[in-house]
Amino acid sequence: MEVKKLFDYSVGDNLEIYVLIKSAEARMAKNGKQFIAFNFADRSGEISAKFWDASAEDIAAFQTGKVVFLRGKRETYQDNPQIKIFNLRLAQDNEPNNPTDYLQTAPETRTEMEAEFKKFILKITEPNWNRIVRHMLNQHHEDFFEFPAAKKNHHAYAGGLAYHTLSILRLAQTIVEQYPEVNASLLYAGAILHDLGKTQELSGALGTTYTLAGNLIGHIVLIDEEIFETCKELQIDPESESVLLLRHVILAHHGLLEYGSPVRPRIMEAEILHQLDNIDASIQMMKTTLEHTEPGEFSERIFGLDNRQFYRPQQ
């Protein structure tokens, strides 16, 4: 028998379910008592809940990364899904208490994705770019296939970084077929490395936060430095035109200075990478939000899309 997941329950249903504590934050209520603001998760998605009148023991026990057995009711608070908690306890050793079983993951397996990345790397025919990409992917191989692509907003799940990158590569391939003037090697190399700095900017897949280097330097500059280092190690001139082009594509991929790129795109492939990055992130945000919206309704507001609400058609 299939175990029901969080979003298999409708609003108003009572539920008894094992869930992961994706995040837990103790705060003081307006009445002066402590409560815990939870995000519970399983592979169907995330949902928030408040645990009122929390004791010091509760706060110590129910921490980020724990699996708990939850009895409660699915409700809605200000258009967002929410759980009303009746009862909560830690999952025991004889129960399904492995956190990674509850993390959302990319819709394709790591093995499939690894194979497809190999094919794309073969298409990078410029030797310097090919060596740099191989070397850097090797060094970050585990993190690249484990990390989310962002703290929240889009592709915020285990493997999201690799999946987002792969999705951009597929769009890039259509572009390259349509426009032979585009330098495929450069576009692919740039796409693969563009967000790799997130492995330094973010702390990991669970309870994701920004590192100090992430806050003070940012993933764009962090990865540029690493390309610079890699060139030295591989004895490639980091000031040669081919390396300057690759670095530029990555430095410029946020498109606008306002979005944190220190330079705007000044070669064609940089502009294209920026736009493909944007479109893939946008689709992912809309898709995730609409999955939890009823047909015929408007969704909650999407922060990363100018706080717009999107309509889910009835048909």
Residues 129-188 that bind a copy of itself (CB under 8 A): 167, 170-171, 173-175, 177-179, 181-183
Token pair of 214 as six digits:
């992430």
Task: Enumerate residues 6+ apart whose C-beta is below 8 A from 292.
Answer: 7, 45, 81, 299
Residue choice 1, 3, 56, 212 for contact with a copy of itself (CB under 8 A): 212
Q: Which is nearer to a copy of itself, 21 or 169 (CB)?
A: 169
Please tell me whether residue 303 binds a copy of itself under the rule CB under 8 A.
no
Please tell me whether residue 294 binds a copy of itself under the rule CB under 8 A.
no
In the chain, the N- to C-terminal Cα span, in Å, equals: 30
Please tell me whether residue 199 binds a copy of itself under the rule CB under 8 A.
no
Q: Which is nearer to a copy of itself, 133 or 245 (CB)?
A: 245
Task: Enumerate residues 6+ apart whose C-beta is below 8 A from 272.
Answer: 172, 175, 182, 187
Task: Enumerate residues 6+ apart whose C-beta is below 8 A from 13.
Answer: 73, 74
Give the integer Cα–Cα distance in Å for 61 and 79. Answer: 30
Q: Which is nearer to a copy of itself, 133 or 286 (CB)?
A: 286
Please tell me whether residue 242 binds a copy of itself under the rule CB under 8 A.
yes
Residue 9 C-beta: closest distance to a copy of itself, Å: 17
Token pair of 81 as six digits:
């899904």
In the region spanning residues 3 to 32, those forming contacts with a copy of itself, defined by CB under 8 A, are 27-32
Q: Which is nearer to a copy of itself, 4 or 264 (CB)?
A: 264
Task: Enumerate residues 6+ apart whose C-beta is below 8 A from 21.
Answer: 38, 39, 40, 62, 63, 64, 65, 66, 67, 68
Please tell me whether residue 59 binds a copy of itself under the rule CB under 8 A.
no
Residue choice 2, 57, 142, 241 for contact with a copy of itself (CB under 8 A): 241
Q: What are phi and psi of 279, to 5 degrees?
A: -70, -40
In the region spanning residues 79 to 138, those forming contacts with a copy of itself, defined by CB under 8 A, are 82, 84, 126
